Amino acid sequence: MGAIKNTHFQFPGQTSVYNGKVRDVYTLGDHLLMIATDRISAFDHILPRAIPYKGQVLNQIAAYFLDSVKDIVPHWLLAVPDPNVSFGLKCEPIKLEMVVRGYLAGHAWREYKSGKRILCGARMPEGMRESEAFPAPIVTPATKAETGHDEDISPEEIMKQGIVSETTWDQLKSYSLKLFERGSSMAREKGLILVDTKYEFGLYNGEIYLIDEIHTPDSSRYYYLNGYEDRLKSGEKQLQLSKEFVREWLMEQGFQGLPGQSMPHMPDDLVDTISLRYITLYETITGQKFERAESSDPHSRIEENVLRFLSELK
């Protein structure tokens, strides 16, 4: 299998390329071509091995959910010319990650366990257990860093720094909560709980657009609904479909992305397990069978599909 770790394309009309942690973003005039690679990141570090089919899963889940929320907010996506590729409008990114949390888990739980009860200006009630639902979902934004770690930030600090206006913040918060409500409803129909997720927005002709991926296992945490209450009562870890198990494996190996720590070796069975988990999440959340794209030479496949698509645009 040819996992896609890096891309080095030169498409007609291409003016620049940006290599993110997972996506390679090619600028074509006022449009973007995003290639979801099979890279995987955790603790703001790209892991040494690519995960077969991970990029296809992310790309197709993102397209599936973007199509399902177009009545809530306009979004950037126009077409999917290849299983790993999305094409759409070039928006001016708003430098915030809108993190919505319905349950006390992950980063929020680690902060809570350390004694904090306010996260990004949002109050977390006393006496909560790990994985317990908040009385209502909370929005805990983070600054979108060019490099390094994203930083938690409160709405007050967002306004103080002039990142967005109060009016824009209110609109971003409203969109984020509506998107989370839709994602949660769709997840429950498939026997899952959307625990937390992040949304990114941009501006196109002065209007707010939803950009990037949504409700994928890279941007979201899912629990299995069946048995959730029993596990909560007994204090057991929840069964989840997300990238958190990768972070937990890294922590077990003594790696949290801190200075002086070495990235551990990823054995074949771990790579296979991650790949299968991504595919399982796709099939569970969409209710569709995952069709593996031809992977003996994925770079040639992508180039051929994209060039055909661009020629038909003219």
Say whether 45 sits in a helix, a strand or coil.
Answer: strand
| Span between the terminal Cα atoms of the chain, in Å | 34
Query: What ranges do the domains of the chain cover?
Result: 14-91+265-313, 93-242
- Rounded Cα distance between 50 and 5, Å, is 6
Q: For domain 93-242, which CATH number applies: 1.20.1250.20, 1.20.120.160, 3.40.630.10, 3.30.470.20? A: 3.30.470.20
Q: Is 265 left (phi over 0), alpha (psi -120 to 50) or beta?
A: beta
In Å, how far from its chain's centre is CA 66?
13
Q: Give me 161's structure tokens.
A: 């720094």
How far from 56 is each of 70, 132, 176, 197, CA to CA, in Å? 21, 32, 25, 19
Q: How many C-beta neighbours within 10 Å does residue 63 have?
A: 17
E strand map for 53-141: 77-82, 85-89, 92-93, 96-103, 118-119, 122-123, 133-139
CATH number of 14-91+265-313: 3.30.200.20
- Rounded Cα distance between 130 and 134, Å, is 11
pLDDT by 10s per residue, the chain, length 314: 689 999 999 999 999 999 998 999 999 999 999 999 999 998 889 999 999 999 999 999 999 999 999 999 999 999 999 999 999 999 999 999 999 999 999 999 999 999 999 999 999 999 999 999 999 999 999 997 665 567 999 999 999 999 999 999 999 999 999 999 999 999 999 999 999 999 999 999 999 999 989 998 888 999 999 999 999 999 999 998 777 789 889 999 999 999 999 999 999 999 999 999 889 889 998 999 999 998 889 999 999 999 999 999 86
- Rounded Cα distance between 175 and 168, Å, is 11
62: CB partners within 8 A, 6+ apart: 36, 77, 86, 212, 213, 214, 215, 216
